[in-house]
Chains A and B, each alone.
Chain A
Amino acid sequence: MSLEIYLDLFSQPCRSVYIFTKKNNIQFDHKKITLFDGSQYGEEFGKINVLRKLPAIKYGDFCLAESVAIMMYLAEKFHTPDHWYPADLQKRARVNEYLSWQHSSIRIHGSRILWFNLLIPKAMGVEVPKEKIDNAVEDFDGSLKLFEMKFLQDKPFIVGDQISLADLVAVVEIMQPVGAGMDVFENRPKLKAWKDRVREEIGAELFDEAHQALLSLQEDVKTMDPKKMDPLKPKVLKYFLS
């Protein structure tokens, strides 16, 4: 029975699932979906995930959406090393706590910065009010402060001495604004040291491979057909700018 994983590595939750499966040598059929083309709205993908989002997996007849749920499932199903999602209840709770908190904080604010600073103005040709950009940066900054004060503190990784799903999900989200040219780690030495540790644990090659599409985005939008993202424009503008 083959595991199919539907991914677009521009997307943060796709990167965490990709890195997790690769790092743990979980064999899978990489099904590439291009979000910017609106492929997630096609009929075929609708049979995999009616939510029309990535990532999604199909394992035999079992389809599953939501990266956090996917990684928890894969960790148990494929018996990955304990540190990713510890059996110890309190350590596991710390992972769950971060995975829950990040949805409405770092994830949202990091996403906004990439869309406001790069994709909406440069790929869609729509100006974003300065106030919205400033607010997004301030919110993201607030999230990073809480991340350092509450979740990381003086530990090497979020749960302690070893990397877990929490660090993996955190790092892919914190990288997102880097795609728009923001140096997230400037003047944040503790955060930078943590990112470097996480990258080393994952493996620099895998980390860089997963982030290649994101980090070449600034160049790619220069030559992107302005009409390419037209199908997505109404949804995106309603979601981010209303």
Chain B
Amino acid sequence: MRIRRGRIPSSSSWTHFTAKMPLELYLDLHSQPCRSVFIFAKINKIPFEFKSVDLSTGEQYGDEFGKVSIIRKVPVLKDGDFILTESIAILQYLAANHHTPDHWYPADLQKRARVDEFLSWQHTNIRTHGSKVFWFRGVIPAVTGAPVPKEKMDAAVEDLNVSLKTFEEKFLQSRPFIIGEKISLADLVAIVEMMQPVGTGLDVFQDRPALNAWRDRVKKEIGVEVFDEAHKSFIHLSECVSLESNP
């Protein structure tokens, strides 16, 4: 929580006061990076004001949101005059600024490097492919009324499968969590990205017992209640969206 010192003039003297400036988080929980920031703030009891941005109506392109961020993406953090985009940067900032438990973003250089390594790699792998499958299965058929061509769908699912295999073989291996015994920002970012295709009815954990077990551990560490709250509106997508494309 940021404390700001200010001065109120009285008739004969200046008086100091302190006022709390609420942290604002601009979020749409349909978005993976919004979920990781939401979950992190909640479980670390970081007080914040939830500023809802409805991506499905294009609210991010409006004038109001444009004053917050010209990148026109969520999540965005507003801490007084300090505005920050990019969930990875936001998570790293919150971890340091609010002195969250070390395991989230360890001070140990090699452990921290492992977290950074995953957070860097995931952008153009799990994030890209999980998002694509989400769009192909969930969004494009709903918006256009037509399924995505089978060849494109199969290629997208194949790319996601390759990413998941790499995740298990390189990043997780036989450890409980990505960097070892404890959960970190890496697991948090990984889980919200992997949940994205699940929102369209594609269960990426099925037939992947090691990944499934890791998912259960992460969910337990986060807390089932917060995990489900973050994914609530999103999981219902699979019930609402007509899945005309191949499973």
Residues of A in contact with B (beta carbons under 8 Å apart): 50-51, 62, 64-70, 72-73, 76-77, 89-90, 92-94, 96-97, 99-101, 103-104, 108, 146, 149-150, 242
- The answer to whether the Cβ of B82 comes within 8 Å of any Cβ in the partner chain is yes
Say what secondary structure dominates the interface of chain B.
helix
Which of B114, B117, B119 gathers most chain A CB within 10 Å? Answer: B117
> How far in angstroms is the closest Cβ of chain A from B105?
11
Cβ contact within 8 Å between A66 and B85: no
From known contacts A146-B71, A150-B70, A242-B155, infer whether A97 and B121 are also in contact, taking CB-CB under 8 Å.
no
Stretch at the interface among B15-23, B39-47, B91-99: B91-99
Residues of B in contact with A (beta carbons under 8 Å apart): 70-71, 82, 84-90, 92-93, 96-97, 109-110, 112-114, 116-117, 119-121, 123-124, 127-128, 155, 166, 169-170
Cβ contact within 8 Å between A96 and B128: no
Cβ contact within 8 Å between A103 and B120: yes
**Total CB contacts across the A-B interface at under 8 A:** 86
From known contacts A66-B120, A104-B124, infer whether A51 and B89 are also in contact, taking CB-CB under 8 Å.
no
List the 8 closest A-B pairs by CB distance, nearest first.
A69-B116, A96-B89, A103-B123, A66-B120, A100-B86, A97-B89, A69-B117, A73-B113
Partner of B120, one of A69, A97, A108, A150: A69
In whole angstroms, how far apart are the Cα atoms of A67 and B116 in the complex?
10
In whole angstroms, how far apart are the Cα atoms of A42 and B216 in the complex?
36
From known contacts A50-B169, A62-B110, A90-B82, infer whether A96 and B92 are also in contact, taking CB-CB under 8 Å.
yes
In whole angstroms, how far apart are the Cα atoms of A62 and B123 in the complex?
23
Partner of B88, one of A64, A67, A96, A149: A96
Cβ contact within 8 Å between B116 and A50: no
> How far in angstroms is the closest Cβ of chain A from B116?
4
Q: Which residues of B contact A101 (CB under 8 A)?
A: 71, 85-86
Partner of B97, one of A77, A89, A94, A108: A89
Partner of B93, one of A72, A77, A89, A108: A89
Which of B70, B85, B86, B127 gathers most chain A CB within 10 Å? Answer: B86
In whole angstroms, how far apart are the Cα atoms of A96 and B170 in the complex?
24
Could you list 22 examples of A-B contacts with CB < 8 Å? Answer: A51-B121, A62-B110, A65-B117, A66-B117, A66-B121, A69-B113, A76-B109, A76-B112, A77-B109, A89-B96, A93-B89, A96-B86, A96-B88, A99-B89, A101-B85, A103-B120, A103-B123, A104-B124, A108-B124, A146-B70, A146-B71, A150-B71
Cβ contact within 8 Å between A66 and B116: yes
In whole angstroms, how far apart are the Cα atoms of A187 and B112 in the complex?
41
